[in-house]
Amino acid sequence: MLAIPYSLAANRFGRRNVLTLALFGLLLEETWNFTTCWFSPVFNIRLVLAAVGFEVIGGGFGVVTTMVHVIAADSTTGEARIGLFFAIHAIGIVAAVLGQLTSSLLMQIDLWLPWAAGLCCIFLAGTASLFIHESRQAAAPPANAPDGEREPLLLPETDTRGPTSDCETMAGGRSQEPRSIRVKVVGTWKLLQTAGRLVKGQSRLLFLLGLVLMCQMSEDSFPIMLLLYASKRFGWSFAKANLFWALGEGVQLVVLLALLPLVGRLLKRRLGGFAKDVTLAQVSAALLGTGTLLIGLGWNVPFFVAGIVPTASAAGMQSLLRSIITDNIKAEQVSLVYSIVTVLHVVGGALAGPLYSVAFVAGMRRGVRWTGLPFGIAGVLGLISFGLLLGLRKRQ
Protein backbone atom coordinates (compact mmCIF):
# COMPACT_ATOMS: atom_id res chain seq x y z
CA MET A 1 0.00 0.00 0.00
CA LEU A 2 2.91 2.34 0.65
CA ALA A 3 4.65 1.68 -2.67
CA ILE A 4 2.46 4.07 -4.67
CA PRO A 5 2.58 7.03 -2.22
CA TYR A 6 6.35 6.79 -1.86
CA SER A 7 6.80 6.49 -5.62
CA LEU A 8 4.82 9.68 -6.07
CA ALA A 9 6.94 11.31 -3.38
CA ALA A 10 10.03 10.27 -5.35
CA ASN A 11 8.94 12.56 -8.20
CA ARG A 12 9.28 15.53 -5.86
CA PHE A 13 12.02 14.57 -3.40
CA GLY A 14 14.15 12.39 -5.70
CA ARG A 15 14.45 8.64 -6.29
CA ARG A 16 17.77 8.41 -4.45
CA ASN A 17 16.38 10.00 -1.31
CA VAL A 18 13.35 7.70 -1.23
CA LEU A 19 15.60 4.68 -1.85
CA THR A 20 17.86 5.67 1.05
CA LEU A 21 14.84 6.22 3.30
CA ALA A 22 13.42 2.79 2.40
CA LEU A 23 16.73 1.10 3.20
CA PHE A 24 16.89 2.97 6.50
CA GLY A 25 13.40 1.71 7.35
CA LEU A 26 14.44 -1.86 6.51
CA LEU A 27 17.50 -1.48 8.73
CA LEU A 28 15.32 -0.35 11.63
CA GLU A 29 12.91 -3.23 11.02
CA GLU A 30 15.62 -5.89 11.07
CA THR A 31 17.38 -4.24 14.01
CA TRP A 32 14.13 -4.40 15.98
CA ASN A 33 13.78 -8.13 15.21
CA PHE A 34 17.41 -8.79 16.07
CA THR A 35 17.19 -6.91 19.37
CA THR A 36 13.92 -8.59 20.35
CA CYS A 37 15.31 -12.07 19.69
CA TRP A 38 18.66 -11.28 21.35
CA PHE A 39 16.90 -10.19 24.52
CA SER A 40 14.13 -12.79 24.26
CA PRO A 41 14.43 -13.69 27.97
CA VAL A 42 13.50 -10.08 28.72
CA PHE A 43 11.17 -9.11 25.85
CA ASN A 44 8.11 -11.00 24.67
CA ILE A 45 9.03 -12.70 21.39
CA ARG A 46 5.69 -11.58 19.94
CA LEU A 47 7.13 -8.08 19.74
CA VAL A 48 8.69 -9.09 16.41
CA LEU A 49 5.20 -8.63 14.96
CA ALA A 50 5.55 -4.91 15.55
CA ALA A 51 8.61 -4.72 13.29
CA VAL A 52 6.46 -4.30 10.20
CA GLY A 53 5.52 -0.87 11.53
CA PHE A 54 8.97 0.39 10.56
CA GLU A 55 8.03 -0.10 6.90
CA VAL A 56 6.06 3.13 7.22
CA ILE A 57 9.53 4.69 7.00
CA GLY A 58 10.34 4.33 3.32
CA GLY A 59 7.69 1.78 2.37
CA GLY A 60 9.67 -1.44 2.76
CA PHE A 61 11.45 -3.69 0.28
CA GLY A 62 8.86 -3.10 -2.44
CA VAL A 63 9.86 0.56 -2.61
CA VAL A 64 13.54 -0.45 -2.76
CA THR A 65 12.81 -2.67 -5.76
CA THR A 66 10.76 0.03 -7.44
CA MET A 67 13.35 2.78 -6.94
CA VAL A 68 16.21 0.61 -8.19
CA HIS A 69 14.35 -0.10 -11.43
CA VAL A 70 13.19 3.52 -11.80
CA ILE A 71 16.76 4.81 -11.41
CA ALA A 72 17.90 2.23 -13.96
CA ALA A 73 15.16 3.29 -16.40
CA ASP A 74 16.00 6.98 -15.90
CA SER A 75 19.67 6.37 -16.64
CA THR A 76 19.33 4.22 -19.76
CA THR A 77 17.16 3.61 -22.81
CA GLY A 78 16.42 0.75 -25.18
CA GLU A 79 18.98 -2.05 -25.28
CA ALA A 80 20.95 -0.75 -22.30
CA ARG A 81 17.79 -0.56 -20.17
CA ILE A 82 16.66 -4.15 -20.65
CA GLY A 83 20.24 -5.35 -20.22
CA LEU A 84 20.41 -3.50 -16.92
CA PHE A 85 17.10 -5.06 -15.83
CA PHE A 86 18.51 -8.51 -16.59
CA ALA A 87 21.65 -7.69 -14.60
CA ILE A 88 19.60 -6.51 -11.60
CA HIS A 89 17.64 -9.76 -11.63
CA ALA A 90 20.81 -11.84 -11.98
CA ILE A 91 22.54 -9.98 -9.15
CA GLY A 92 19.53 -10.74 -6.94
CA ILE A 93 19.89 -14.45 -7.68
CA VAL A 94 23.64 -14.39 -7.03
CA ALA A 95 23.09 -12.52 -3.77
CA ALA A 96 20.53 -15.10 -2.63
CA VAL A 97 22.87 -18.00 -3.40
CA LEU A 98 25.86 -16.32 -1.76
CA GLY A 99 23.70 -15.39 1.22
CA GLN A 100 22.66 -18.99 1.77
CA LEU A 101 26.22 -20.29 1.47
CA THR A 102 27.66 -17.58 3.70
CA SER A 103 24.94 -18.07 6.30
CA SER A 104 25.61 -21.80 6.43
CA LEU A 105 29.30 -21.18 7.07
CA LEU A 106 28.74 -18.44 9.64
CA MET A 107 26.22 -20.54 11.56
CA GLN A 108 28.96 -23.04 12.30
CA ILE A 109 30.77 -20.27 14.18
CA ASP A 110 27.82 -18.56 15.84
CA LEU A 111 24.08 -18.65 15.13
CA TRP A 112 23.81 -14.86 15.38
CA LEU A 113 26.54 -14.05 12.86
CA PRO A 114 24.41 -14.45 9.69
CA TRP A 115 21.82 -12.04 11.08
CA ALA A 116 24.47 -9.52 12.09
CA ALA A 117 26.04 -9.82 8.64
CA GLY A 118 22.64 -9.14 7.07
CA LEU A 119 22.27 -5.96 9.11
CA CYS A 120 25.71 -4.83 7.96
CA CYS A 121 24.74 -5.48 4.33
CA ILE A 122 21.61 -3.33 4.65
CA PHE A 123 23.66 -0.57 6.27
CA LEU A 124 26.24 -0.72 3.47
CA ALA A 125 23.48 -0.64 0.84
CA GLY A 126 21.98 2.46 2.46
CA THR A 127 25.37 4.14 2.57
CA ALA A 128 26.06 3.26 -1.07
CA SER A 129 22.67 4.68 -2.12
CA LEU A 130 23.82 8.13 -0.95
CA PHE A 131 26.39 8.16 -3.78
CA ILE A 132 23.96 7.31 -6.57
CA HIS A 133 23.96 9.96 -9.29
CA GLU A 134 20.35 10.59 -10.17
CA SER A 135 19.45 11.63 -13.70
CA ARG A 136 15.91 11.96 -14.97
CA GLN A 137 14.77 11.43 -18.52
CA ALA A 138 12.02 13.97 -18.55
CA ALA A 139 12.63 15.01 -22.12
CA ALA A 140 11.12 13.19 -25.04
CA PRO A 141 13.40 11.24 -27.35
CA PRO A 142 14.63 12.98 -30.48
CA ALA A 143 12.66 12.64 -33.65
CA ASN A 144 15.50 10.82 -35.40
CA ALA A 145 15.83 8.18 -32.67
CA PRO A 146 16.24 4.60 -33.95
CA ASP A 147 13.05 2.64 -34.46
CA GLY A 148 11.95 0.90 -31.30
CA GLU A 149 14.29 2.83 -29.02
CA ARG A 150 11.47 4.70 -27.32
CA GLU A 151 8.59 4.70 -29.82
CA PRO A 152 6.18 1.90 -28.86
CA LEU A 153 4.71 -0.44 -31.45
CA LEU A 154 1.43 -0.23 -29.58
CA LEU A 155 0.67 3.44 -29.02
CA PRO A 156 -1.04 4.11 -25.69
CA GLU A 157 -4.54 5.46 -25.60
CA THR A 158 -4.77 9.23 -25.27
CA ASP A 159 -4.05 10.11 -21.67
CA THR A 160 -6.20 13.13 -21.02
CA ARG A 161 -4.90 13.65 -17.53
CA GLY A 162 -1.51 12.31 -16.50
CA PRO A 163 -0.26 12.05 -12.94
CA THR A 164 2.13 15.00 -13.13
CA SER A 165 -0.33 17.70 -12.20
CA ASP A 166 -1.73 15.59 -9.39
CA CYS A 167 1.74 14.98 -7.99
CA GLU A 168 2.50 18.68 -8.02
CA THR A 169 -0.81 19.56 -6.38
CA MET A 170 -0.42 17.07 -3.56
CA ALA A 171 3.22 17.89 -3.05
CA GLY A 172 2.50 21.58 -2.73
CA GLY A 173 -0.81 21.26 -0.88
CA ARG A 174 -1.68 20.79 2.73
CA SER A 175 -1.17 17.01 2.63
CA GLN A 176 2.59 17.39 3.12
CA GLU A 177 2.29 17.37 6.89
CA PRO A 178 -1.08 15.83 7.84
CA ARG A 179 -2.16 16.58 11.35
CA SER A 180 -4.90 14.03 11.75
CA ILE A 181 -5.69 10.45 10.81
CA ARG A 182 -8.56 11.68 8.64
CA VAL A 183 -6.24 13.84 6.54
CA LYS A 184 -3.85 10.89 6.16
CA VAL A 185 -6.65 8.66 4.91
CA VAL A 186 -7.87 11.32 2.49
CA GLY A 187 -4.32 11.89 1.22
CA THR A 188 -3.78 8.16 0.64
CA TRP A 189 -7.11 7.92 -1.17
CA LYS A 190 -6.11 10.79 -3.47
CA LEU A 191 -2.85 9.03 -4.27
CA LEU A 192 -4.71 5.85 -5.18
CA GLN A 193 -7.07 7.91 -7.34
CA THR A 194 -4.04 9.28 -9.17
CA ALA A 195 -2.93 5.74 -9.99
CA GLY A 196 -6.48 4.88 -11.05
CA ARG A 197 -6.69 7.84 -13.42
CA LEU A 198 -3.39 6.82 -14.97
CA VAL A 199 -4.52 3.35 -16.01
CA LYS A 200 -8.17 4.23 -16.68
CA GLY A 201 -7.44 6.11 -19.87
CA GLN A 202 -4.85 3.67 -21.18
CA SER A 203 -6.35 0.29 -22.00
CA ARG A 204 -3.06 -1.08 -23.29
CA LEU A 205 -1.27 -0.18 -20.08
CA LEU A 206 -4.01 -1.94 -18.13
CA PHE A 207 -3.59 -4.94 -20.44
CA LEU A 208 0.16 -5.06 -19.79
CA LEU A 209 -0.33 -4.74 -16.03
CA GLY A 210 -2.74 -7.68 -16.19
CA LEU A 211 -0.01 -9.69 -17.93
CA VAL A 212 2.41 -8.79 -15.14
CA LEU A 213 0.00 -10.23 -12.56
CA MET A 214 -0.75 -13.37 -14.55
CA CYS A 215 2.91 -14.13 -15.31
CA GLN A 216 3.88 -13.48 -11.69
CA MET A 217 1.33 -16.04 -10.50
CA SER A 218 2.64 -18.57 -13.02
CA GLU A 219 6.29 -17.95 -12.10
CA ASP A 220 5.59 -18.26 -8.37
CA SER A 221 4.68 -21.93 -8.78
CA PHE A 222 8.39 -22.76 -9.12
CA PRO A 223 9.68 -21.36 -5.80
CA ILE A 224 6.50 -22.16 -3.86
CA MET A 225 5.84 -25.75 -4.90
CA LEU A 226 9.01 -27.28 -6.40
CA LEU A 227 10.56 -28.78 -3.25
CA LEU A 228 7.24 -30.00 -1.84
CA TYR A 229 6.15 -31.49 -5.16
CA ALA A 230 9.47 -33.27 -5.80
CA SER A 231 9.55 -34.72 -2.28
CA LYS A 232 6.02 -36.14 -2.62
CA ARG A 233 6.14 -37.16 -6.29
CA PHE A 234 9.49 -38.97 -6.19
CA GLY A 235 9.89 -39.65 -2.46
CA TRP A 236 13.01 -37.47 -2.19
CA SER A 237 14.33 -35.65 0.83
CA PHE A 238 14.29 -31.85 0.74
CA ALA A 239 18.10 -31.91 0.52
CA LYS A 240 17.97 -33.95 -2.70
CA ALA A 241 15.09 -31.93 -4.13
CA ASN A 242 17.07 -28.76 -3.45
CA LEU A 243 19.64 -29.88 -6.04
CA PHE A 244 17.03 -29.31 -8.74
CA TRP A 245 16.30 -25.91 -7.25
CA ALA A 246 19.99 -25.14 -7.70
CA LEU A 247 19.73 -26.36 -11.30
CA GLY A 248 16.97 -23.84 -11.95
CA GLU A 249 19.02 -21.02 -10.39
CA GLY A 250 21.99 -21.91 -12.60
CA VAL A 251 19.86 -21.91 -15.75
CA GLN A 252 18.41 -18.51 -14.81
CA LEU A 253 21.87 -16.99 -14.44
CA VAL A 254 23.00 -18.30 -17.83
CA VAL A 255 19.84 -17.02 -19.50
CA LEU A 256 19.94 -13.57 -17.87
CA LEU A 257 23.65 -12.88 -18.26
CA ALA A 258 24.44 -14.56 -21.57
CA LEU A 259 21.57 -15.92 -23.64
CA LEU A 260 19.00 -13.11 -23.47
CA PRO A 261 21.50 -10.26 -24.11
CA LEU A 262 22.99 -12.15 -27.07
CA VAL A 263 19.66 -13.07 -28.65
CA GLY A 264 18.36 -9.57 -27.92
CA ARG A 265 21.18 -7.96 -29.89
CA LEU A 266 20.55 -10.26 -32.84
CA LEU A 267 16.80 -9.60 -32.84
CA LYS A 268 17.22 -5.84 -32.50
CA ARG A 269 19.06 -5.67 -35.82
CA ARG A 270 15.98 -7.05 -37.58
CA LEU A 271 13.03 -5.98 -35.44
CA GLY A 272 13.97 -2.88 -33.46
CA GLY A 273 14.09 -2.42 -29.70
CA PHE A 274 10.42 -2.64 -28.72
CA ALA A 275 9.56 -5.49 -31.11
CA LYS A 276 12.59 -7.37 -29.83
CA ASP A 277 11.33 -7.12 -26.24
CA VAL A 278 7.86 -8.28 -27.30
CA THR A 279 9.30 -11.27 -29.16
CA LEU A 280 11.48 -12.30 -26.22
CA ALA A 281 8.50 -11.91 -23.88
CA GLN A 282 6.41 -14.16 -26.13
CA VAL A 283 9.10 -16.83 -26.17
CA SER A 284 9.55 -16.55 -22.40
CA ALA A 285 5.80 -16.95 -21.80
CA ALA A 286 5.73 -20.01 -24.06
CA LEU A 287 8.69 -21.52 -22.18
CA LEU A 288 7.07 -20.72 -18.84
CA GLY A 289 3.77 -22.35 -19.78
CA THR A 290 5.36 -25.39 -21.42
CA GLY A 291 7.94 -25.90 -18.67
CA THR A 292 5.49 -25.77 -15.77
CA LEU A 293 3.17 -28.18 -17.58
CA LEU A 294 6.07 -30.60 -18.07
CA ILE A 295 6.92 -30.37 -14.37
CA GLY A 296 3.32 -31.08 -13.43
CA LEU A 297 3.13 -34.06 -15.81
CA GLY A 298 6.61 -35.32 -14.89
CA TRP A 299 6.13 -39.03 -14.29
CA ASN A 300 9.89 -39.63 -14.21
CA VAL A 301 13.03 -37.67 -13.37
CA PRO A 302 14.15 -36.88 -16.97
CA PHE A 303 10.70 -35.50 -17.76
CA PHE A 304 10.81 -33.50 -14.53
CA VAL A 305 14.20 -32.00 -15.41
CA ALA A 306 12.97 -31.29 -18.94
CA GLY A 307 10.34 -29.06 -17.35
CA ILE A 308 12.71 -27.26 -14.99
CA VAL A 309 15.01 -26.03 -17.77
CA PRO A 310 12.40 -24.16 -19.88
CA THR A 311 10.67 -22.84 -16.74
CA ALA A 312 13.95 -21.37 -15.48
CA SER A 313 14.68 -20.06 -18.99
CA ALA A 314 11.72 -17.70 -18.60
CA ALA A 315 13.61 -15.79 -15.89
CA GLY A 316 13.65 -12.57 -17.90
CA MET A 317 9.87 -12.43 -18.27
CA GLN A 318 9.16 -9.71 -15.70
CA SER A 319 12.12 -7.60 -16.82
CA LEU A 320 10.89 -7.77 -20.40
CA LEU A 321 7.36 -6.78 -19.39
CA ARG A 322 8.74 -3.89 -17.37
CA SER A 323 10.70 -2.69 -20.40
CA ILE A 324 7.64 -3.00 -22.65
CA ILE A 325 5.59 -1.00 -20.17
CA THR A 326 8.30 1.67 -20.07
CA ASP A 327 7.98 2.11 -23.83
CA ASN A 328 4.23 2.68 -23.45
CA ILE A 329 4.28 5.44 -20.82
CA LYS A 330 5.64 8.93 -20.43
CA ALA A 331 8.93 9.52 -18.67
CA GLU A 332 7.28 11.31 -15.74
CA GLN A 333 4.95 8.32 -15.21
CA VAL A 334 7.71 5.74 -14.76
CA SER A 335 7.94 5.97 -10.97
CA LEU A 336 4.20 5.59 -10.42
CA VAL A 337 3.74 2.76 -12.92
CA TYR A 338 6.74 0.85 -11.59
CA SER A 339 5.25 1.06 -8.11
CA ILE A 340 2.03 -0.44 -9.48
CA VAL A 341 4.09 -3.25 -11.02
CA THR A 342 5.72 -3.89 -7.64
CA VAL A 343 2.31 -4.01 -5.97
CA LEU A 344 1.13 -6.51 -8.60
CA HIS A 345 4.15 -8.71 -7.87
CA VAL A 346 3.17 -8.80 -4.21
CA VAL A 347 -0.49 -9.41 -5.03
CA GLY A 348 0.48 -12.20 -7.43
CA GLY A 349 2.51 -13.92 -4.74
CA ALA A 350 -0.31 -13.50 -2.22
CA LEU A 351 -2.80 -15.08 -4.63
CA ALA A 352 -0.47 -17.83 -5.84
CA GLY A 353 0.30 -19.21 -2.38
CA PRO A 354 -3.28 -20.14 -1.38
CA LEU A 355 -4.20 -21.14 -4.94
CA TYR A 356 -1.36 -23.63 -5.32
CA SER A 357 -1.76 -24.90 -1.75
CA VAL A 358 -5.43 -25.72 -2.35
CA ALA A 359 -4.57 -27.32 -5.70
CA PHE A 360 -1.81 -29.42 -4.12
CA VAL A 361 -4.10 -30.67 -1.33
CA ALA A 362 -6.79 -31.49 -3.89
CA GLY A 363 -4.24 -33.39 -5.96
CA MET A 364 -2.97 -35.33 -2.94
CA ARG A 365 -6.50 -36.50 -2.20
CA ARG A 366 -6.71 -37.99 -5.69
CA GLY A 367 -3.32 -39.66 -5.54
CA VAL A 368 0.38 -38.96 -6.02
CA ARG A 369 -0.01 -38.62 -9.78
CA TRP A 370 -2.17 -35.55 -9.24
CA THR A 371 0.34 -33.71 -7.05
CA GLY A 372 1.48 -31.78 -10.12
CA LEU A 373 -1.89 -30.01 -10.33
CA PRO A 374 -0.43 -26.64 -9.14
CA PHE A 375 2.08 -26.70 -12.00
CA GLY A 376 -0.74 -27.55 -14.39
CA ILE A 377 -2.57 -24.40 -13.31
CA ALA A 378 0.65 -22.39 -13.63
CA GLY A 379 1.18 -23.81 -17.11
CA VAL A 380 -2.27 -22.73 -18.21
CA LEU A 381 -1.62 -19.20 -16.91
CA GLY A 382 1.69 -19.10 -18.77
CA LEU A 383 0.16 -20.26 -22.06
CA ILE A 384 -2.70 -17.76 -21.71
CA SER A 385 -0.08 -15.04 -21.24
CA PHE A 386 1.66 -16.27 -24.38
CA GLY A 387 -1.58 -16.05 -26.35
CA LEU A 388 -2.26 -12.54 -25.09
CA LEU A 389 1.27 -11.42 -25.92
CA LEU A 390 0.74 -12.52 -29.52
CA GLY A 391 -1.66 -9.57 -29.77
CA LEU A 392 1.16 -7.08 -29.28
CA ARG A 393 1.70 -6.32 -32.94
CA LYS A 394 2.66 -3.17 -34.78
CA ARG A 395 -0.24 -0.93 -35.71
CA GLN A 396 -0.30 1.09 -38.89
Banded model confidence at residue 197, pLDDT cuts 50, 70, 90 = low
Whole-angstrom Cα distance, residue 120 to residue 126?
10
- Cβ neighbours around 196 below 10 Å, total: 9
Question: CA nearest 308: which of 322, 297, 323, 320?
Answer: 297
- Per-residue pLDDT of 149-170, as tens digits, reads 444 333 333 333 333 333 333 3
Average of per-residue pLDDT values in the chain: 81
Whole-angstrom Cα distance, residue 87 to residue 83?
6
Q: What are phi and psi of 358, to 5 degrees?
A: -65, -40
DSSP state string for 71-135: HHHHH--HHHHHHHHHHHHHHHHHHHHHHHHHHHHHHTT-TTHHHHHHHHHHHHHHHHHTTPPP-
- Per-residue pLDDT of 316-353, as tens digits, reads 999 999 999 988 888 778 888 888 898 899 899 889 98
What's the confidence (pLDDT) of residue 195?
59
Whole-angstrom Cα distance, residue 236 to residue 228?
9
- Per-residue pLDDT of 365-395, as tens digits, reads 988 888 899 999 999 999 999 999 998 764 4
Residue 155 CB burial class (10 angstroms; 0-12, 13-18, ≥19) = exposed
Alpha helices, H only, 108-220: 113-129, 164-172, 181-200, 203-219
Question: CA nearest 388: which of 267, 253, 285, 237?
Answer: 285
pTM assigned to the model? 0.74
Angle at 225 (CA atoms; ends 223, 227), nearest 5 degrees: 85
